[in-house]
Amino acid sequence: MREVEKLLDTKGDANEARQAMIGAIAAWAIDHPNVRVEASAVFPHYLKRMREAIYDGKRPAVAALARDVERLVRDQGTGLDELGTRYGYCPHCAADAASATLRRRFGDLVV
């Protein structure tokens, strides 16, 4: 639970936040009797915040990977057979996609 609270950047008393979550589950269960509780239905805003927090933590690694893909394809032109066979990318297209991703999403992290 502490990890979830950290990802959600919960402020204040942890017990109050936990009680609010339990209350949300209870309210949903009352409104939807005999239906299994689904986190995506009860806590869509929490799940979105958690995904964003997790992505932000992995952003530098993803940027470095995209940079390495681009370099691999541009410099050597080999090593990405799966992109070609599985997704139909030619080596230049894979490099272009990696380059565009780098510029748009990771320009502040990778040159």
Q: Are residues 67 and 110 in the same domain?
A: yes
Q: Are residues 65 and 104 in the same domain?
A: yes
Whether the per-residue pLDDT at 109 is higher than 90: the answer is no
pLDDT digits (tens, 9 = 90+) for 22-42: 999 999 999 999 999 988 899
Tokens 């008393």 sit on residue: 13
Q: Are residues 63 and 30 in the same domain?
A: no
Q: Are residues 111 and 67 in the same domain?
A: yes
Structural domain includes residue 19: yes
Residue 95 and residue 74 in contact, taking contact as beta carbons nearer than 8 Å:
yes
Structural domain includes residue 76: yes
pLDDT digits (tens, 9 = 90+) for 42-80: 999 989 988 888 888 888 887 777 777 777 766 665 556
Q: Are residues 5 and 38 in the same domain?
A: yes
Query: What are the start-end ranges of the H helices in the chain?
Result: 2-8, 14-31, 39-42, 44-75, 81-87, 91-106
**Residue 34 tokens, joined:** 């005999």
When mean pLDDT is compared over 8-12, 32-36, 100-104, the highest value belongs to 32-36
pLDDT the model gives residue 78:
58
Structural domain includes residue 65: yes
Residue 111 one-letter amino acid: V
User: How far apart are alpha carbons 62 and 55 in whole angstroms?
Assistant: 9
